[in-house]
Structure 1
Amino acid sequence: MTSDLSVLQIRRRFLVLHGLRWLPVGLMIPVTILLMQERGLTLTQIGLAVGAQGVVVLALELPTGGFADALGSRPVLVVANVVGLVSLALLVVADSFALLAAVWALQGVFRALDSGPLESWYVNSTLAADPDAAYEKGLGQGGAVLGLSMAAGALLSGGLVALGPVGPVSALTTPIVIAVLLQAVALVALLALLVEQRPAAGAGALRSSVRAAPRMVGEAFGLLRRSRVLLALVAVELFWGFGMMTFEGLLPVRLAEVVGDPDRAAALLGPANTVAWLASAGGAALTPLLIRRLGAAPGAALLRIVQGVTVVGMALLAGPVGVLIAFIACYAVHGASNPLHMGLLHRQVDGPYRNSVISVNSMVAMPAGALGGAVLGFVGDRAGVGTAMLVGAVVLAVAAPLYLPAWRAARASAGASAGAGRRTEVSGKAPV
Structure 2
Amino acid sequence: MTPHLDPRTARRRFAVVTFLFWLPVGLYLPALVLLPTARGFSVAVIAGLFAVHSLTVAVLELPTGGLSDVVGRRPVLAVAGVLNLAALVLFALGTAAWVLTAAMFLLGAGRALSSGPAEAWYVDTVHAHSGADTELRTGLARAGTASAAALAAGTLIGGALPWLLGLGPGLGARLAAATSGVVLPLSVPGLLGGAVVLVFVAYVLTRLPEPARPPATLRGVVAGVPATVLGGLRLGASDGLIRRLLLTTCAIGAALGTIELLMPGRTAALTGAPESGAVVFAGLACGGFACTAVGSHLAPFTARLAGGAERAVLVGLGAMAAGLLLLTASAAWSGTWALVLLAVGYALVYLALGSTGPNGNELLHSRVGSAHRATALSVQSLALQALGASIGLVAAALPQGPLRWLPGALLLVAGALLWVRRGRTGGGGPGGNRRDRAESPRADATAATARSGVGA
Q: Distance in 1 between matches of 2:224 and 2:109?
A: 20
Alpha carbons of structure 1 residues 239 and 415: separation in structure 2 relative to 1, 3 Å? closer
SS at match of 1:349: coil
Per-residue CA distance 1:233-286 (angstroms, 9 max, x = gap): 112222222222222111122222333333221121122211211111001100
Alpha carbons of structure 1 residues 81 and 414: separation in structure 2 relative to 1, 3 Å? closer
Alpha carbons of structure 1 residues 73 and 129: separation in structure 2 relative to 1, 3 Å? same
Partner of 1:151: 152
Which amino acid letter does the alignment assign opposite residue 363 of structure 2? L
Per-residue CA distance 1:137-164 (angstroms, 9 max, x = gap): 0101111111111111111112211222
Counterpart mapping for 1:46-61 below 5 A: 46-61=46-61
Deviates more, 1:239-248 or 1:99-108: 239-248
Which amino acid letter does the alignment assign opposite residue 339 of structure 2? P
Partner of 2:97: 97
Could you list the structure 1 runs, at least 4 aligned residues long, displaced by more than 4 angstroms after superposition.
404-409, 411-417
Partner of 2:411: 395
**Does the Cα contact within 8 Å between 1:71 and 1:206 map onto a contact in 2?**
no
Partner of 1:314: 327
CA RMSD of aligned residues (A): 2.0
How far has the Cα of 1:409 moved from its partner?
6.5
SS at match of 1:173: helix
**Does the Cα contact within 8 Å between 1:2 and 1:129 map onto a contact in 2?**
no
Alpha carbons of structure 1 residues 308 and 2: separation in structure 2 relative to 1, 3 Å? farther
Per-residue CA distance 1:353-402 (angstroms, 9 max, x = gap): 111111111112222122100001111xx2x2322112321111210133
Q: Distance in 1 between matches of 2:59 and 2:283?
A: 35
Unaligned runs of 5+ in 1: 418-432
Alpha carbons of structure 1 residues 352 and 378: separation in structure 2 relative to 1, 3 Å? same
Partner of 1:167: 175
Between Structure 1 and Structure 2, how many residues are aligned?
Answer: 412
How far has the Cα of 1:404 moved from its partner?
5.5
Which amino acid letter does the alignment assign opposite residue 249 of structure 1? L
Counterpart mapping for 1:116-195 below 5 A: 116-131=116-131, 132-164=133-165, 165=172, 167-168=175-176, 169-195=183-209
Which amino acid letter does the alignment assign opposite residue 312 of structure 1? L
Alpha carbons of structure 1 residues 411 and 103: separation in structure 2 relative to 1, 3 Å? closer
Partner of 1:430: none
Alpha carbons of structure 1 residues 206 and 371: separation in structure 2 relative to 1, 3 Å? same
Q: Which of these residues, 357, 382, 401, is aligned with residue 363 of structure 1?
A: 382
SS at match of 1:106: helix
Alpha carbons of structure 1 residues 147 and 411: separation in structure 2 relative to 1, 3 Å? closer
1:199 matches 2:213: yes
Question: TM-score scaled by structure 1?
Answer: 0.91
Question: TM-score scaled by structure 2?
Answer: 0.86
Alpha carbons of structure 1 residues 374 and 12: separation in structure 2 relative to 1, 3 Å? same
Q: Distance in 1 between matches of 2:61 and 2:28?
A: 22
**Does the Cα contact within 8 Å between 2:294 and 2:351 map onto a contact in 1?**
yes
**Does the Cα contact within 8 Å between 1:233 and 1:345 map onto a contact in 2?**
yes
Which amino acid letter does the alignment assign opposite residue 19 of structure 1? F
Partner of 1:245: 257
Which amino acid letter does the alignment assign opposite residue 177 of structure 1? L
Per-residue CA distance 1:159-182 (angstroms, 9 max, x = gap): 211222162332111111111111
Counterpart mapping for 1:201-280 below 5 A: 201=215, 204-280=216-292
How far has the Cα of 1:334 moved from its partner?
1.2
Deviates more, 1:65-74 or 1:337-346: 337-346
How far has the Cα of 1:403 moved from its partner?
3.2
1:410 matches 2:418: no
SS at match of 1:399: helix
**Does the Cα contact within 8 Å between 2:309 and 2:427 map onto a contact in 1?**
no
**Does the Cα contact within 8 Å between 2:323 and 2:345 map onto a contact in 1?**
yes
Unaligned runs of 5+ in 2: 166-171, 177-182, 436-456
Alpha carbons of structure 1 residues 337 and 415: separation in structure 2 relative to 1, 3 Å? closer
Alpha carbons of structure 1 residues 102 and 387: separation in structure 2 relative to 1, 3 Å? same
- Give me the identity figure in percent: 29
Q: Distance in 2 between matches of 1:98 and 1:167?
A: 24
Q: Distance in 1 between matches of 2:141 and 2:135?
A: 11
Per-residue CA distance 1:157-212 (angstroms, 9 max, x = gap): 122112221623321111111111111111111111111002243xx545323321
Q: Distance in 2 between matches of 1:200 and 1:218?
A: 21
Partner of 1:424: none
Q: Distance in 1 between matches of 2:302 and 2:240?
A: 24
Q: Distance in 2 between matches of 1:411 and 1:109?
A: 37
Q: Distance in 2 between matches of 1:308 and 1:300?
A: 12
Alpha carbons of structure 1 residues 140 and 33: separation in structure 2 relative to 1, 3 Å? same
Q: Distance in 2 between matches of 1:67 and 1:308?
A: 35
1:328 matches 2:347: yes
How far has the Cα of 1:51 moved from its partner?
0.8
How far has the Cα of 1:127 moved from its partner?
0.8
How far has the Cα of 1:215 moved from its partner?
0.6
How far has the Cα of 1:113 moved from its partner?
0.7
Partner of 2:453: none
